[in-house]
């Protein structure tokens, strides 16, 4: 009968002080790594360093943290999960067979390759994120610079156009009016300022010494009125203030003057055909001989206005308009809508103005 195999003696416990020396060795390389991570993190938060530098340092800190994490996972954490509370001693290693040694080396190589792959992936993610962030920051900075440059150009255009309005040469003033219109189209935020300037230009104009022999307005003033009349009213913060303007024979065909302030305006023989004057303030305005055929004066305040001299109001919408003390002597109201007007009765209008069967009362 074969001799029973002798039982393998249990491994000798590690010598006294072995674990202390091992932890000291670990700390010797762990402390510089932790210090490097802490230093890179602190530098990454320093606002005095350029963005690219801070992000590079942040990437280094993340890479160091990843290295430390992987070292912990493939070292102490892996052994603890496997039930091995301490690494092999020298005596245990000497008891390993050649096959076991090869397998251990291959396992170590496999683990290191996986760790290196993980580091490469982590590094790629970090630097890809850094590149995307830096690109986005550069794009935002470029867009901000472009917006600033555009606002600077708009400001320069505005200043130049306003200066042109103050020129002594009519052709220069004419160019200024059209320059302001183009500016209002290109910059919605400057819309109201542009039309307030143009309205002020028309208000301050004194036609007496400058009206030509035909009685027509100078081209620059007429252009300003035309531009005001065709503006995009959806952008208006308020209607243009044309209070007390004097514009003989003004051409405001199809002009949009809804809500406009035309108090005491001198609009003698003005061409206001199909103009929009809804809710406009036309109190005491002089519209002698004005052509208002097809105009919309719904709820306009025409109290005290002068509509005499055969002013053409054919087909005009005056529904709800205030005609208190208005002068309608000889006005042509054929086909006009006078329903709900204030200040005049139907008989009163028939006595002073021309009406027909199409006139609505």
pLDDT mean across residues, the chain: 77
CB 100 within 8 Å of CB 69: no
Share of the chain above pLDDT 90, in %: 24
The pLDDT score that the predictor gives to residue 18 is 53
CB 321 within 8 Å of CB 341: yes
Tokens of 83: 């039930």
Write out pLDDT tens, residues 128-171.
776 777 777 777 777 787 887 788 888 889 999 899 998 889 99
Q: What are the CA-CA distances from residue 150 to residues 23, 37, 44, 143, 163 (Å)?
A: 64, 44, 34, 10, 20
The owner of tokens 């952008």 is 235
Share of the chain above pLDDT 70, in %: 63
The pLDDT score that the predictor gives to residue 124 is 74
The pLDDT score that the predictor gives to residue 4 is 47
Stretch 14-26: mean pLDDT = 55
pLDDT at 114 over 50: yes
Tokens of 174: 């004419």
The confidence band for 110, taking pLDDT boundaries of 50, 70 and 90, is confident
Model pTM score? 0.54
Write out pLDDT tens, residues 165-224.
988 899 999 999 999 999 999 889 899 999 999 988 888 775 554 444 455 667 888 888
234-271: string of b/e by CB count within 10 Å (b at 16+)? eeeeebbbbeebbbbbbbbeebbbbbbbbbbbbbbbbb
pLDDT at 41 over 90: no
The pLDDT score that the predictor gives to residue 43 is 57
The confidence band for 295, taking pLDDT boundaries of 50, 70 and 90, is very high
Q: At residue 292, what are phi and psi to the nearest 5 degrees?
A: -120, 20
The confidence band for 53, taking pLDDT boundaries of 50, 70 and 90, is low
The pLDDT score that the predictor gives to residue 37 is 59
Question: Between residues 84 and 280, which one has the greater pLDDT?
Answer: 280
Question: Between residues 348 and 96, which one has the greater pLDDT?
Answer: 348
- Angle ∠(17,23,27) on CA atoms, nearest 5: 145
The confidence band for 112, taking pLDDT boundaries of 50, 70 and 90, is low
Distance of CA 257 to the CA centre of its chain: 29
The pLDDT score that the predictor gives to residue 182 is 92
**3 state SS of 98:** helix
The pLDDT score that the predictor gives to residue 265 is 83
Write out pLDDT tens, residues 209-265.
444 445 566 788 888 888 888 888 888 888 778 777 766 556 677 888 888 888 888
Question: Between residues 54 and 218, which one has the greater pLDDT?
Answer: 218
Write out pLDDT tens, residues 74-94.
666 555 555 555 666 667 667
Stretch 255-284: mean pLDDT = 86
Give the bridge partners for 240, in sequence order: none
């Amino acid at each position: 009968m074969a001799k029973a195999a002798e039982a393998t003696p249990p491994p000798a416990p590690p010598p006294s002080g072995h674990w202390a020396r091992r932890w000291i060795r670990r700390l010797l390389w762990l402390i510089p790594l932790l210090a490097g991570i802490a230093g890179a993190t602190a530098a990454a938060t320093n606002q005095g360093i350029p963005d690219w530098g801070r992000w590079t340092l942040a990437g280094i800190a993340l890479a160091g943290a990843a290295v430390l994490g992987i070292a912990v996972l493939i070292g102490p954490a892996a052994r603890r999960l496997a039930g091995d509370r301490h690494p092999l001693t020298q005596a245990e290693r000497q008891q390993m067979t050649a096959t076991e040694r090869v397998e251990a080396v291959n396992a170590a190589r496999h683990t290191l390759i996986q760790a290196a792959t993980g580091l490469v992936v982590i590094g790629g993610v970090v630097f890809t994120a850094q590149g995307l962030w830096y690109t986005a920051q550069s794009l935002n900075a470029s867009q901000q610079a472009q917006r600033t440059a555009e606002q600077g150009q708009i400001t320069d255009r505005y200043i130049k156009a306003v200066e042109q309005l103050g020129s002594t040469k009519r052709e220069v003033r004419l160019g200024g009016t059209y320059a302001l219109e183009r500016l209002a189209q290109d910059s919605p935020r400057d819309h109201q300022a542009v039309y307030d300037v143009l309205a002020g230009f028309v208000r301050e104009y004194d036609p007496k010494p400058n009206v030509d022999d035909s009685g027509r307005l100078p081209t620059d003033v007429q252009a300003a009125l035309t531009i005001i009349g065709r503006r995009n009213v959806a952008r208006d913060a308020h209607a243009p203030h044309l209070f007390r303007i004097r514009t003989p024979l003004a051409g405001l065909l199809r002009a949009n003057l809804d809500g406009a302030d035309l108090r005491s305006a001198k609009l003698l023989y003005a061409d206001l055909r199909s103009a929009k004057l809804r809710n406009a303030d036309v109190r005491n305005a002089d519209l002698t001989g004005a052509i208002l055929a097809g105009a919309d004066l719904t709820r306009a305040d025409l109290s005290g206005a002068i509509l005499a001299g055969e002013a053409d109001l054919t087909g005009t919408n005056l529904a709800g308009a205030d005609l208190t003390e208005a002068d309608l002597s000889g006005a042509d109201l054929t086909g006009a809508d006078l329903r709900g007007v204030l200040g005049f009765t139907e008989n009163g209008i028939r006595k002073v103005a021309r009406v027909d069967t199409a006139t609505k009362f």
